[in-house]
Structure 1
Amino acid sequence: MPVEKHDLVHEMPESKDAIHHLKSSSTHFAKLFDEYHDIEHEVHRYETGAENTSDDHLENLKKQRLHLKDQLSAMIRDYESSAS
């Protein structure tokens, strides 16, 4: 079974323009986006078997990824509601 990617643009394709705008205009968003991307890449490596780790470590990474996604999603929603 293929491992699903969770990068933000694939998770929220309808918000691609907002993500691009926020990455270039908000250093806070860009920092969180980069952190999310780094964690997503690490999780993907573990899930595909490219590297090994403990279940606890992988679970913690997934929780961090979810927390970052929640923050980024809120920022995207705020931007989209103010832009409309």
Structure 2
Amino acid sequence: MLGEKHLLSHEFPKYSALIDTLKSQNSDFCASAKRYHQLDHKIRGLELNKVPTTDEHFSALKMERAVLKDRIYHTLKSHTG
């Protein structure tokens, strides 16, 4: 769906408290979460405002967001046992 928000708290609702904790206590996690948010914001802006961009650029942004989401998920899982 175009323009859909992919907030980490919506993507991983059962980890909301852990996400908040790791953002404040783990600088690497915090940096990944910030970059994920930036990418999501940029992707949504391109979709909703119909900003001209190449398919390659748009796909690269989405791929980077997916890679970060996977990394974030593995970090969350590693902190829950």
Normalising by structure 1, report the TM-score.
0.88
In angstroms, what is the RMSD of aligned CA positions?
1.4
d(CA) in 1 for partners of 2:17, 2:50: 32
d(CA) in 1 for partners of 2:65, 2:14: 20
Consecutive unaligned residues in structure 2, runs of 5 or more? none
Q: CA deviation at 1:2?
A: 5.6
Q: CA deviation at 1:6?
A: 1.0
Q: Give the direction of change, closer, same or farther, for the CA distance of 1:2–1:56 in structure 2 (3 Å limit).
A: closer
Moved over 6 A (4+): none
User: What residue is the counterpart of 1:15 in the other structure?
Assistant: 15
Corresponding position: 1:62 with 2:62: yes
Q: Secondary structure at the match of 1:5?
A: coil
Q: Is contact 2:3-2:45 (8 Å) kept?
A: no
- Write the deviation string for residues 46-68 of structure 1: whole angstroms up to 9, x where unpaired: 11125332211110000000000
User: What residue is the counterpart of 1:48 in the other structure?
Assistant: 48
d(CA) in 1 for partners of 2:17, 2:80: 10
Normalising by structure 2, report the TM-score.
0.91
d(CA) in 2 for partners of 1:62, 1:35: 12
Consecutive unaligned residues in structure 1, runs of 5 or more? none
